[in-house]
Structure 1
């Protein structure tokens, strides 16, 4: 598909990768940077770099390349299986692992590891996301439930939609929260100023996060968050919204923060009804070493 955009006065001096991420629906800035490198984007008939500052009257022409189908390969990656039967797997995902393959993360994902571990995952989400019912972010650690067949998948998704799945997270956030409990009820959607981020916007989908302050430090708080809904980056967006962004969050947090490999967020527990037996199952795991060491450091400074 070939498209053309004529740069207007209001676009003057914008970086071309930023401008096109606003213009092209469902294209991320990193994707566009890749297209620029491969000369899929031309300005006035010439190739330019991602940092090119557009000028009024520039004619930008781009061709969206055909996406190559992902070929999923089982990979012998260590998994911490918390629970498994013929219907469900509950896994403790480490921080730094992507849940399923996508552009830029074709291998080394949780799905690649699961395919090596077992070949009976549900197919409802297609070949790229077998068994995946819900996700947690790459740098978030903790519990994730996976469906091993379509019937289990449908049951778990329905429970998520009915808000009966219990999900609790631990987080370290900036600032001292002045009250012990709170509920954030604010709709979340794509950030109109940055398509790679989510934000609280009037046009967003309903989102509710409950939190409890577990511990206070000089400039940080240790909190437990309970999800009522499961929007993309929900806890990260909601805590930023109330001016207490997560420590170490490269997307939603301040630059001056604790030295962490990503946001201090851990999916501590998950509870759900077994899709076959109807039995209530609940699992809980401790946060990883980096998280607990950060807590100890904050305690020592207080």
Structure 2
């Protein structure tokens, strides 16, 4: 690929105009195949450039099925690659800084924000929001995950801690690995779990039929969730959850396996009508309490987060006997 400069991860796409001339061996090749060969992009990415009219021949956009001729010259708007070592600063007004000190920052993450950049995600990230707020973070970890010691799903709101220096990164990473961090979530699930207080000990692995989903599987990783019903409303219950392990989608998968999916969680079996009646556009799941030993002082610290407006509305609707379906 001819493009030599890069752009920060998570920034708006950029393109550079490049000219390529077809060789004799490419005579009769489809244009998307030729573009892939010229740029080093995948065939599907090259086809997407054609669909977006970013490939032209003699001044006019050319379709992916166009057959190239030897010595013909084409103009291609080549995408500028992302540099994982640079995170684009983003303005995320709903992300709240709960506590900031030289070693770490505790944030209250709104739904719709990913922990860090990842392939295919074009929305805001915690890393980008902190950069936008002028908060520097540790450089340890994979380039796109620097400072990130744990994650919340995009659709889950609540507390996260991010390391700001290398000592905090090491200490906090170890604390999460050794399970000495207190992680308390609240969720509203469909129905009333029986018993009202219990432990879900069921291994979780990647769903065999859906790469982006997870499921309880016999050969999955050990996953343990402790829960207690705080309020029962009949068609739904407010539940407090303590995680012993921290698998991806663990709470959502475990309650779906109990046939009490998180309200609003259409990915894991929630009733669309009940979700709509509660005004939910994402799973009712909130990281409400986070406690750990401070890397700076060695003292135990704990932070709490109130429900955001959408989750508070859903609970009030249930307390008032709603929704009327």
TM-score by length of 1: 0.76
Find out whether 1:151 has 2:151 as its counterpart: no
Q: Distance between the aligned counterparts of 1:221 and 1:107, measured in 2?
A: 31
How much has 1:182 moved relative to structure 2?
0.7
How much has 1:98 moved relative to structure 2?
1.5
Q: Distance between the aligned counterparts of 2:304 and 2:135, measured in 1?
A: 26
Find out whether 1:232 has 2:252 as its counterpart: no
CA deviation string 1:209-259 (max 9, x = no partner): 000001111211110100111100010011111111100002112343322
How much has 1:68 moved relative to structure 2?
4.9
Q: Distance between the aligned counterparts of 2:129 and 2:143, measured in 1?
A: 14
Q: Distance between the aligned counterparts of 2:123 and 2:275, measured in 1?
A: 29
Q: What is the SS of the residue equivalent to 1:212?
A: strand
Contact 2:140 2:166 in 1 (8 A): yes
Find out whether 1:215 has 2:235 as its counterpart: no
1:170–1:85 Cα change, 3 Å:
same
Find out whether 1:77 has 2:105 as its counterpart: no
Q: Distance between the aligned counterparts of 2:131 and 2:82, measured in 1?
A: 20
Unaligned stretches of 5+ in structure 2? 1-41, 51-63, 66-80
TM-score by length of 2: 0.71
Choose which of 258, 262, 267 in structure 1 pairs with 2:275.
Answer: 258
Give the alignment of 1:54-203 within 5 angstroms.
Answer: 68-70=82-84, 71-78=86-93, 79-106=95-122, 108-118=124-134, 120-203=136-219
Choose which of 280, 298, 302 in structure 1 pairs with 2:300.
Answer: 280
Query: How many residues get paired?
Result: 249
How much has 1:95 moved relative to structure 2?
1.3
Unaligned stretches of 5+ in structure 1? 1-31, 41-46, 49-66
CA RMSD between the two structures: 2.6
CA deviation string 1:141-183 (max 9, x = no partner): 1000000012111111111111110000010101112322110
